[in-house]
């Protein structure tokens, strides 16, 4: 047998195999980098329901599935029931949209832990900031900046102290596509013609009359009309506010 010939054949075969594998790997990596999916990544059944109920997704669907665990934290006042502090000197509301440094410089001396909060949304007459943990928002812990006539005049803040979470091991969360699909497929939840505006991974929990609160990894789905759904990112259960 001609060993040299056989080698050539094997080389070509492996070259082809490597090309195929390489392409697969590359497309996988690209998908990961892109870190988002869109409607076409949902199951065909889900897409069918979306068509029937005229549900649209006006955003990309995150495809990240990081490992997260519950947060335990101590609150100083009841969440959402903090005191409204009036600012002695109103600040231009533009600072909200400026870079972090400038924002920090203008309000950092007045509002404690300001660097821990990140802009979430602009509601009428108030900016809502969320407390961040490892780059993910805690939906229940807010900093609200009240503004009128383009000036920030007051703020209300939920101040917390994160506690070590003990023995619990982090678990990888459910992918957003799965969670959104189950939300869409649930007969009673989404109304006809709903438009999904935003899908965010963060933390949310039931609030108790206690100094210590627990928040679990949660996907939040915001609708264009203001409706919102929280879904436990570990179990996939739909949660109310």
**Tokens read off for 11:** 């080389």
Told to check if 162 binds other proteins by CB under 8 A, we report no
Told to check if 14 binds other proteins by CB under 8 A, we report yes
Taking alpha carbons only, the member of 233, 227, 226 closest to residue 200 is 233
- Beta carbons within 8 Å of 2's beta carbon, 6+ residues apart: none
Nearer to other proteins, 28 or 98 (CB): 28
| CB-based contacts of 24-31 (< 8 A; 24+ apart in sequence) | 31/63
SS3 18: helix
For residues 167 and 115, give the distance between their C-alpha atoms in angstroms, rounded to a whole number: 28
Span interacting with other proteins, options 22-30, 44-52, 93-101, 102-110, rule CB under 8 A: 22-30
Told to check if 239 binds other proteins by CB under 8 A, we report yes
Nearer to other proteins, 54 or 85 (CB): 54
Told to check if 25 binds other proteins by CB under 8 A, we report yes
Site string for other proteins, 32-51 (x = CB under 8 A): x-------------------
**What's the Rg (C-alpha) of the chain?**
24
Q: Counting every residue, how long is the chain?
A: 241
Minimum CB–partner distance for residue 28 and other proteins (Å): 6
Residues 184-213 that bind other proteins (CB under 8 A): 186, 188-189, 204-206, 208-213
State the DSSP string of 26-53.
HHHHHHHHHTEE-GGGS-HHHHHHHHHH
Q: Contact positions toward other proteins, by CB under 8 A?
A: 3-4, 7-8, 10-11, 14-15, 17-18, 21-22, 24-25, 28-29, 32, 65, 70, 72, 166-169, 171-172, 175, 186, 188-189, 204-206, 208-216, 218, 229-230, 232, 235, 237-241
């Amino acid at each position: 047998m001609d060993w040299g010939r056989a080698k050539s054949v094997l080389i070509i075969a492996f070259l082809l195999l490597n090309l195929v594998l390489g392409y697969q790997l590359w497309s996988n990596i690209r998908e990961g980098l892109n870190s988002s999916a869109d409607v076409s990544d949902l199951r065909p059944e889900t897409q069918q329901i979306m068509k029937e109920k005229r549900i649209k997704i006006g955003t990309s669907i995150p495809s990240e599935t990081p490992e997260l665990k519950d947060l335990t934290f101590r609150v100083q006042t009841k969440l959402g029931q903090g005191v409204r502090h009036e600012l002695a000197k109103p600040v231009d509301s533009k600072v909200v949209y400026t870079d972090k440094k400038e924002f920090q410089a203008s309000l950092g001396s007045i509002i404690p832990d300001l660097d821990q909060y990140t802009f979430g949304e602009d509601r009428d007459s108030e900016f809502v900031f969320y407390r961040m943990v490892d780059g993910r928002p805690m939906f229940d812990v807010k900093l609200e900046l009240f503004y009128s006539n383009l000036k920030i005049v007051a703020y209300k803040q939920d101040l917390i102290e994160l506690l070590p979470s003990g023995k619990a091991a982090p678990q990888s969360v459910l992918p957003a596509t799965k969670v959104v699909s189950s939300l869409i497929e649930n007969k009673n939840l989404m109304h006809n013609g709903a438009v999904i505006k935003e899908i965010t991974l963060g933390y949310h929990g039931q609030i108790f009359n206690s100094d210590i609160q627990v928040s679990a990894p949660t996907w939040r789905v915001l609708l264009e009309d203001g409706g919102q759904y929280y879904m436990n990112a570990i179990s996939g259960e739909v949660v109310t506010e």
